[in-house]
Amino acid sequence: MSTRKDLFKKCYDFTLADEVKALGIYPFFHPIEETEGPVVSFGGRKLVMAGSNNYLGLTADDRVKNASINAINKYGTSCSGSRYMTGTVNLHIELEERLADYFEKERCLLFSTGYQTGQGIIPTIVQRGEYVVCDKDNHASLVAASIMAVGQSAKFVRYAHNSMEDLERVLQSIPEEAGILIVADGVFSVSGEIIDLPNLVEIANRYGARILLDDAHAVGVIGRDGRGTPSEFNMVDRVDMMMGTFSKTFGSLGGYVVGERDIVNYIKHNASSLIFSASPTPASVAAVLESLEILKNEPERIERLIVNTDYVRQGLDAAGFKLMPSRTAIVSVIIGDQMKTMVFWKKLFDAGVYVNAFIRPGVMPGHEALRTSFMATHEKEHLDKVITEFSTIGKELGVI
C-alpha cells in the first residue's frame, strides 16, 4: 500500500461551500429559470437583476435572438473544429472585418471566449526574457494568461493599481534589451474605475513598451458610440492592441483582439487557445453582428445605461454606502467582511434583488463587496427597488 499523500485530500478537506450552504447564505451558482433581462425568475419568484453584464439589454432583443436562430438554420449548431482547420465560416470573417472597422484598427481576430483571448495574446506575444507588466487589479484571466507566459520563461511583474508612479518604477527596473507588454483593464471589472490612459500611454512611450487594453467592461459603455477606453481619451492610435468579450455589451459569447495587421496575423498563426479550441458558434457570432449594428445605430441605449447607473450610484451614495470609484456601468458597494457580504447578499436576494457577492478569490480580504451593474433596459421602478432594499438592509446590518 502506497503512503503517498493523496492529491485529492484538498478536495475532501474543502468544506467552506457546504458550510455556507448550510447557513442558507450561499451566493453562487443559483439557476435562473427565465429571464427578460432586467427581471429574472428564481424558484418561481421574480427578482430585479442588478448584477448582469448585459449592459445594453441585448440578450433579450428579438433582432439579436432571430439573428442567432437564422445562423443555426444556415450553419448548424457548432463549427465542430478550430478556426485554424475546419471551423471558420463566413460569419467569422464578416465579424472580424466589421469589428476592425468599428474599432479603427487594421485587423481583428475572434476567440471562443474573452478568457481565451487573453490566453491567446499574452503568452504568444511575450516570450523568453520578455516582460508582461500588469495592473494589480487586472481581471483574473489576464493574470492566468501572464502566468502562462512565465511558463515560457517570460517575466511577470505587477504595479500598484492605476498608479502611474509605480508603473514607472517597474519599467525603470527592466533591462533596455527586454521587450515589454503593459496589460491593463480599460474599465476595471471589480470597481468600474477607468484606467489613467493618458499617463499610461506617455510612460509606455518613454520606455518603449507596447500596450494591451482589456476593454471588456468599456465597450458599449464609454467612448464615441461605445468604442471603449482608447476612444474615450481620443487615443485609439496610441494603444497597440485592444481586446474584449462578447459576453457583456454584445449579448453573446466569445472574444476578440484588434490591432496592426502583422501583430494580429502573428497571433492568428501562433496562439494555442485559438488553434487548439473550437471556433465561436455561428449563433454566437451572428448575435454579435446584430448587436454591433444596434450599438452603432442606437446610441441612446448607451445614454440610458449611464443615466440608469448614475441614478443608482447617487442613491446609494446618498444613503451613506461606501462605493468604489466609478462612472461606468458598475457600482460596487464596499462591505469589507466576507460573512457580512454573504448575509447582505442573501437578504437582498430574499427581498427581490440579485447582485454579485465579491469575496475571495475575486477580491482581497477586507475588500469584500456587493457589485451591482446595470442595463439600458432597466426601468426606474427597478432602480428604485435596488436603492430601497440596499438602504433597508444596510441599516439593519449596520453597514450604513
What is the smallest separation between the CB atom of 213 and ligand PLP, expressed in angstroms? 10
> Which among 23-31, 213-221, 264-272, 280-288 is the span making contact with ligand PLP, rule CB under 6 A?
213-221
What is the smallest separation between the CB atom of 217 and ligand PLP, expressed in angstroms? 6
162 makes contact with ligand PLP (CB under 6 A): no
Residue 139 or 268 with smaller CB distance to ligand PLP: 139
> Which among 111-119, 219-227, 268-276, 293-301 is the span making contact with ligand PLP, rule CB under 6 A?
111-119
Nearest C-alpha neighbor of 309 from the set 243, 363, 371: 371
What is the smallest separation between the CB atom of 135 and ligand PLP, expressed in angstroms? 11
Q: Is the dihedral of CA 378, 382, 383, 389 positive or negative?
A: negative
What is the smallest separation between the CB atom of 145 and ligand PLP, expressed in angstroms? 10
Q: Which of 185, 193, 290, 368 forms a contact with ligand PLP (CB under 6 A)?
A: 185
Residue 89 or 329 with smaller CB distance to ligand PLP: 329
115 makes contact with ligand PLP (CB under 6 A): yes
189 makes contact with ligand PLP (CB under 6 A): yes
What is the smallest separation between the CB atom of 324 and ligand PLP, expressed in angstroms? 15
> Which among 30-38, 112-120, 125-133, 364-372 is the span making contact with ligand PLP, rule CB under 6 A?
112-120
Residue 52 or 247 with smaller CB distance to ligand PLP: 247
Q: Which of 96, 137, 214, 232 forms a contact with ligand PLP (CB under 6 A)?
A: 214
What is the smallest separation between the CB atom of 185 and ligand PLP, expressed in angstroms? 5
Footprint (CB under 6 A) of ligand PLP, residues 3-62: none
What is the smallest separation between the CB atom of 113 and ligand PLP, expressed in angstroms? 4
CB-count burial class (<10 Å; 0-12, 13-18, 19+) for 195:
buried
What is the smallest separation between the CB atom of 348 and ligand PLP, expressed in angstroms? 21
Pairwise CA distance, residues 120 & 256, whole Å: 10
Q: Name, in order, each residue with C-beta under 8 angstroms of 350's C-beta and a sequence gap of 6 or more.
A: none
113 makes contact with ligand PLP (CB under 6 A): yes
What is the smallest separation between the CB atom of 74 and ligand PLP, expressed in angstroms? 24
Q: Name, in order, each residue with C-beta under 8 angstroms of 16's C-beta and a sequence gap of 6 or more.
A: none
Nearest C-alpha neighbor of 225 from the set 284, 285, 287, 294: 294
135 makes contact with ligand PLP (CB under 6 A): no
Pairwise CA distance, residues 384 & 17, whole Å: 32
Q: Which of 107, 139, 346, 378 forms a contact with ligand PLP (CB under 6 A)?
A: 139
Pairwise CA distance, residues 208 & 180, whole Å: 8
Residues touching ligand PLP: how many (CB under 6 A)? 13
Q: Please, are residues 77 and 285 in contact by the beta-carbon 8 Å criterion?
A: no
Pairwise CA distance, residues 393 & 390, whole Å: 5
Residue nearest to ligand PLP (CB): 114
What is the smallest separation between the CB atom of 123 and ligand PLP, expressed in angstroms? 15
Q: Which of 119, 141, 284, 309 forms a contact with ligand PLP (CB under 6 A)?
A: 141
Q: Which of 59, 119, 245, 252 forms a contact with ligand PLP (CB under 6 A)?
A: 245
Residue 371 or 385 with smaller CB distance to ligand PLP: 371
114 makes contact with ligand PLP (CB under 6 A): yes
219 makes contact with ligand PLP (CB under 6 A): no
What is the smallest separation between the CB atom of 111 and ligand PLP, expressed in angstroms? 9
Q: Which residues bind ligand PLP (CB under 6 A)?
A: 113-115, 139, 141, 185, 189, 214, 216-217, 245, 247, 255
